[in-house]
Structure 1
Amino acid sequence: MTMTRLRDVRLIPLVFGPLVGALAVLETGLDDFFGAAATATGLSGIAMGAGLAVMAWRPLAGTVIAAVCLPVGTVVFGAPGVSGATMIGMIGAVAWSGWREPPRRSAVALGVSVASFTSTALVGASLWELFFVPSVLLPGWSMGLLARRSGERAVKLAELAAALDAEREINARAAVARERTRIAREVHDAVAHSVSVMTLQLGGLRRILADRPAEQEVVAGLERLGRQTVEEMRGLVGILRERADGEETAPRPSLARLGELIADVRAAGLAVTLDAPADLPRLPPVLDLTAYRVLQEALTNVLRHADAAPTAVAIGCTDQALTVEVRNGPAPRGPEDPVAGPRGTPESAPRGAESGRTGHGLVGMRERLAMVHGSLHAGPEPDGGFAVRARFPIPRTR
């Protein structure tokens, strides 16, 4: 028998009923008071025990069955009166009814029990028993009512505690939402505005430097970086300002927007080729966001450190994993470049390779991949280029 079944309260009458029946048989067998009516009284006690067992499913019906056994045993079988076992049984019956039934129904069980004892006392008992025996049922019924009210109070307290927990969680979420809105407002009003102004000023400076191509190219790169920073901040503000129903004010970064990312990089002056499936499967949100950010960081590293070397992006997907590869060839160098060496030598490797070893870009990518149990390989290629290969395991849905 499992612990759950042992904790079932219906076991109480299922054990109490047979116990009362056995106690009635023992009492009538050992007490000479019952005389020739001992057998009849014992049978009446056994019948009461069966009625008490019925209370496990029907408290009121079981109490009525048990109560009827008293006058029937006295009138039909000639039992001399109420035995101690039957008294214990009826006290337990009205207490159980008071606990398991609503007050009005348990009051009916009490009334039937009192009537049963009264009719039995009128036939075969003294006048004292006419008052004493029914009076002992009232404390039993009161104990049952007390247990019922205590249980109802416990249920209400549990419901109140659950409601308080829910309210506390709602308040915490509201506080987080307010703080995120405040941060988003600060980012939008202060940082994004300042960067936008700087980008506009860089654009004006670029036009002034029309006769100085080298300086103009540097300023143009800074202008592109400023625009990219503003777009990133707008995306961050959109993520922070999520609506209460979960809908976001800005689209979340996703490989579904891969074309937009490649177009932005090309507009920044990087020659990129893309090899990806026409329709990528639906990925888990965390994995999808992580893959997008790793690809974005790898392309940004090429822009910053590899002198806009020709870059190839390859994306593959199977049932087990998603793979992302970003590979750039040697950056083109002019004859005046003093560090340009023969093809394949360390001097001709893109500066992104060296920067990746000491900068924070690869560290951030590895941290992102660690969160989704992925792996990252980054390093120089034999031809002097640099490659970043990331593998994202796809969790099983079953």
Structure 2
Amino acid sequence: MRALHRRGLRLLTWLLPPALGALAVLEALSDPGFRPTPAHLVVVAAWIPAGLALARWRPAAGAAVVAGFYPVGIVLDIPGPGGTGLIATLLAVGWAGFAEPVRRSRLGLVVAMVVYAASDTVREGFSWMNVFFSLIFVVAWWSGVLVQRERQRSRTLVELAAALDAQREAVARAAVAGERTRIAREIHDAVAHSVSVMTLQIGGLRRQLHDVLETRETEREVMLGLERLGRQSVDELRALVGIMRDAGTTEPAAPAPSLSRAEELVADVRAAGLSVGLEVEGSPGELHRALDVSAYRVLQEALTNVLRHAPGSHADVTIRYAPDAVTIEVIDEGGGAVQPSGTDRVGGNGLIGMRERTAMFGGTLRAGPRDEGGFAVTARFPIARRWQ
């Protein structure tokens, strides 16, 4: 839904200017009290689309230009397309509230309200209805501001989710390091100490029985072997303690999840017994950290699902980098010992999580069985840019 909404907004910014221009001309021609000249029709057909086109790049300025249709209409005596002008101004003011900072878009709102109220007063005479009716622009502007705030809040939640994900991994690594250090300490303080004491006692016993063992060669060799084995065990235990302490204190942090590590992920899955092919199309660019993490997690979950539901099959992974989006496609051939129905796989919790990760960025996820057998997962992440 969010991706559809985003594409719809972009489409509207392209289609609305010519559509409202045509609607304004149609309204002018259908007004029985207005007989427009060709020059008037040119103004009607061009002014509103020009203002809306400007609003794509300068929303607040575009709203002011669209509202300027009213004084231009008074000068040229064009009373016909007033309804279209009102609709266009409302849309432009709402877009300004959505696409511009509040302070700048508020300026566009005030200009539109003043221009509308002043123009209506010049044409019809002063009336408080002119003032109150212009307040409808506030509703349009505030709706745009609310949508903008919701979008910013969603971005913040996505970044927090990525930060929590990274923090969770850091805590897990710290817990593993702490457990290694604890085990190393226990080995050193308990096991190594006990074996060391036992070895010393065997050596002391051998020296006390030196005269006896001189005539008993077999028993003497056994005692020497036990003493030698004890010392060797102590050395090995100390080496093991050193390794575990080093692993617990100086182990480098694991790399952050990223699509740049897709080859490592595929290699791990191959090591687990799944035949996987990887193809990367396009040139990888710099991705937003939160989006990069989510895309990696989607790929990871998709491959995990293949391992879980279609072991022994073959999977193809395709990562496509485009200027406006990153697409991840995982297709498996099906088969294997455990192959659930398509309905079971579509309803899994893993796929729900993947849908949530793509939806956070206005992306889409398609997952389902293929006609030729197997299962396909396609996730598309739009690359965040300023909406124009």
- Alignment TM-score > 0.5, same fold: yes
* Residue aligning to 2:153: 153
Asked whether 1:47 is paired with 2:43, we answer no
Partner of 1:182: 182
Distance 1:6 1:112 in 2: 28
Q: 1 or 2 for the larger relative contact order (CA 8 Å, sep ≥6)?
A: 2
**What's 2:17 paired with?**
17
Q: Is residue 212 of structure 2 the alignment partner of residue 213 of structure 1?
A: no
Amino acid at match of 2:220: Q
- For residue 37 of structure 1, report the CA deviation from its aligned partner: 5.8
Secondary structure of 1:36's counterpart equals: coil
Q: Cα gap change, 1:139/1:247 in structure 2, threshold over 3 Å: closer, same or farther?
A: closer
Structure 1 residues 206 and 29: alpha-carbon distance in aligned structure 2, compared to 1, 3 A threshold: farther
Unmatched segments (≥5 aa) in structure 2 = 254-388
> How big is each residue's C-alpha offset from its partner over 1:186-210, in whole Å with a ceiling of 9 and x where there is no partner?
1111111111112222333444335
Cα 1:147–1:121 shift into 2, 3 Å: same
| Separation in 2, partners of 1:33, 1:150 | 45
Counterpart for residue 327 of structure 1: none
2:251 to 216, 222, 246: 246
The answer on 1:98 being equivalent to 2:97 is yes
127 and 211 in structure 1: CA distance in 2 versus 1, 3 angstrom threshold: farther
Q: CA deviation at 1:45?
A: 4.7
* Cα distance between partner residues in 2 of 1:138 and 1:38: 35
Asked if 1 retains the 8 angstrom alpha-carbon contact of 2:27 and 2:84, the reply is yes
1:5 offset after TM fit, Å?
Answer: 12
CA deviations 1:311-365 (Å, max 9, x no partner) are xxxxxxxxxxxxxxxxxxxxxxxxxxxxxxxxxxxxxxxxxxxxxxxxxxxxxxx
Q: Measure, in 2, the Cα distance between the counterparts of 1:37 and 1:121.
A: 23
Superposed displacement of residue 127, structure 1: 4.3
Match of 2:194, SS state, is helix
Letter in 2 for 1:108: L
For residues 161-200 of structure 1, what are the structure 2 equivalents within 5 Å?
161-200=161-200
Matches within 5 A, 1:317-336: none
Is residue 226 from structure 1 mapped to residue 225 from structure 2 by the alignment? no
Distance in 2, matches of 1:31 and 1:70, equals 17
- Structure 1 residues 184 and 243: CA distance shift in structure 2, 3 A: closer
Match of 2:60 in 1: 60
Query: Does the 8 A contact of 1:21 with 1:46 survive in 2?
Result: yes
Tell me the equivalent position of 1:264: none
Which AA in structure 1 matches 2:20? Answer: V
How many Å apart are 1:49 and its aligned residue?
Answer: 1.5
Equivalences for residues 208-357 of structure 1 within 5 A? 208=210, 209-241=213-245, 242-246=247-251
- What's the CA shift for 1:134? 1.8
State the identity %.
Answer: 47
Unpaired runs of 5+ in structure 1? Answer: 249-398
Q: Where does residue 359 of structure 1 map in the other structure?
A: none
Q: Structure 1 61/244 Cα, relative in aligned 2: closer, same or farther at 3 Å?
A: farther
Which string of whole-angstrom CA distances, capped at 9 and with x for unpartnered residues, describes residues 107-131 of structure 1?
A: 1110111122123223434545633
Cα separation, 1, equivalents of 2:59 and 2:140: 14
* Matched residue type, 1:246: E
TM-score w.r.t. length of structure 1: 0.54
Cα 1:232–1:8 shift into 2, 3 Å: farther
The alignment's TM-score, normalised by the length of structure 2, stands at 0.55
Relative to structure 1, the CA distance from residue 247 to residue 11 in structure 2 (aligned partners, 3 Å threshold; closer, same or farther) is closer
CA-CA distance at 1:91 after TM superposition: 0.4
Higher gyration radius (CA): 1
